[in-house]
Amino acid sequence: MALKRIAVLTSGGDAPGMNAAVRAAARTALFKGIEVFGVYRGYNGLINNDLFPMNLRSVSDIIHRGGTMLFTARCSEFNTEEGIQKAIKVCNDNGINGVVVIGGDGSLRGAQDLSRHGMPCIGIPGTIDNDISCCEYTIGYDTAMNTCMGMVDRLRDTAQSHDRCSVVEVMGRNAGYLALNVGIAVGATSIIVPEVPFDFERDIITRMKMTSQTGKKHFIVVVAEGVGGVMELADEIQKSTGIESRATILGHVQRGGSPSVRDRVLASEMGYHAVELLIEGKSNRVVATQNDSILDYDIEVALRMKKPFDFELYNMAHEISI
Ligand code: F6P
């Protein structure tokens, strides 16, 4: 059946650049004569029939904004068969025969459920965690890295003035990609990620003592939220070294802000590609990036893939921060 009307939704944690993806998907479809409905608050909106028709101007003035104009949510009802059936019925009742879902791995599972129940669906990876294995860069990751870098640069100013150690927790759920890259960008003495077993003496204290001997007086320790415990870590560091230590959890500030060029362009390409796939009659695909190209994978295959952690980069980070 020819594609006549699509729905676009954002789901899970918001990520800067989601708006650019919504815009691109909506405009691509409208340009090709396909009607578009925006869905509010992720799968909740599909279940509760909370959607609205979009025109070319519905997505004006959003490309530079963080967050998502469609709002977002995590929807437990959609994890049930009844919830999925309700969503499918809402799609059918509204004449929707294609859905674009922008979100993280939970959202992609939802896209898989819709596809399995006969509703053609394409996923776009949007998460600051960059933890979608098939995709080198997810929407929001670049902006979040830059936001974190800016925040930690500020922490460094004050840590430097007081000869202190600043212990900073960055997001990433169970993944350390954000922490590793931010840690390198801010010249952290130690970067603690869930992918590498943590040894307090070896990974923090020895490094601080070693660098102190060559004159270093302030320190940045970047900790991924998947490891956590920055308050206790700061206390322990202070006790072990006598260096005043302060903990900061960057928190949700990392998810906000105007998207970077990279996120806007990536999101635009992904939104465009997602609609092209629906037009080609494809379903259950996730759009991805590899080596600066846009491609797509079967969602099931994509969710089974494992993203390698860059141990070379991790080792390099520690070799150069002495
Ligand atoms: O997945 C994005 C993310 O920001 C994670 O880094 C974090 O663990 C989680 O979402 C926080 O979720 P919430 O917004 O529900 O507190």
Pocket-testing residue among 75, 107, 129, 177, ligand 1, by greatest number of atoms within 8 A of Cβ: 129
Please list every protein residue whose CB sits less than 6 Å from any atom of ligand 1. Answer: 13, 104, 127-129, 171-173, 225, 255
Which among 95, 2, 102 has a CA at the least distance from the CA of 53? 95
Question: Region 184-208: what's the mean pLDDT?
Answer: 98
Q: Relative to the CA of 171, which ligand 1 atom is closest?
A: 6
Kindly report the protein residue whose alpha carbon is nearest to atom 10 of ligand 1. 13
Residue 85 has pLDDT above 80, yes or no: yes
CA of 13 to the centre of ligand 1 (A): 6
CA of 127 to the centre of ligand 1 (A): 9
CA of 258 to the centre of ligand 1 (A): 18
Pocket-testing residue among 171, 223, 253, 254, ligand 1, by greatest number of atoms within 8 A of Cβ: 171
**Cβ contact 38:58 at 8 Å:** yes
Question: Region 233-250: what's the mean pLDDT?
Answer: 98
Q: How far apart are the first and last CA of the chain?
A: 62
Residue 1 has pLDDT above 90, yes or no: no
β-strand partners of 146: none
Q: Relative to the CA of 104, which ligand 1 atom is closest?
A: 1
Question: What pTM did the predictor assign?
Answer: 0.97
Contacts 24+ apart (CB under 8 A), 211-219: 211/321, 211/322, 212/241, 214/322, 216/189, 217/160, 217/163, 218/156, 218/159, 218/160, 218/162, 218/163, 218/164, 218/165, 218/166, 219/159, 219/164, 219/165, 219/166, 219/189, 219/190, 219/243
CA of 291 to the centre of ligand 1 (A): 27
**Predicted pLDDT at 51:** 98
The pLDDT-based confidence of 35 (bands split at 50, 70, 90) is very high
Structural domains present in the chain:
5-140+259-304 (3.40.50.450), 141-255 (3.40.50.460)
Q: What is the pLDDT of residues 86-144, one digit of tens each?
A: 999 999 999 999 999 999 999 999 999 999 999 999 999 999 999 999 999 999 999 99
Kindly report the protein residue whose alpha carbon is nearest to atom 7 of ligand 1. 173
**Annotated active-site positions, please?**
129
Kindly report the protein residue whose alpha carbon is nearest to atom 5 of ligand 1. 173
**Predicted pLDDT at 259:** 98
Q: Relative to the CA of 225, which ligand 1 atom is closest?
A: 8
Q: What is the pLDDT of residues 132-182, one digit of tens each?
A: 999 999 999 999 999 999 999 999 999 999 999 999 999 999 999 999 999
Kindly report the protein residue whose alpha carbon is nearest to atom 8 of ligand 1. 173
Q: Relative to the CA of 254, which ligand 1 atom is closest?
A: 4
CA of 80 to the centre of ligand 1 (A): 22
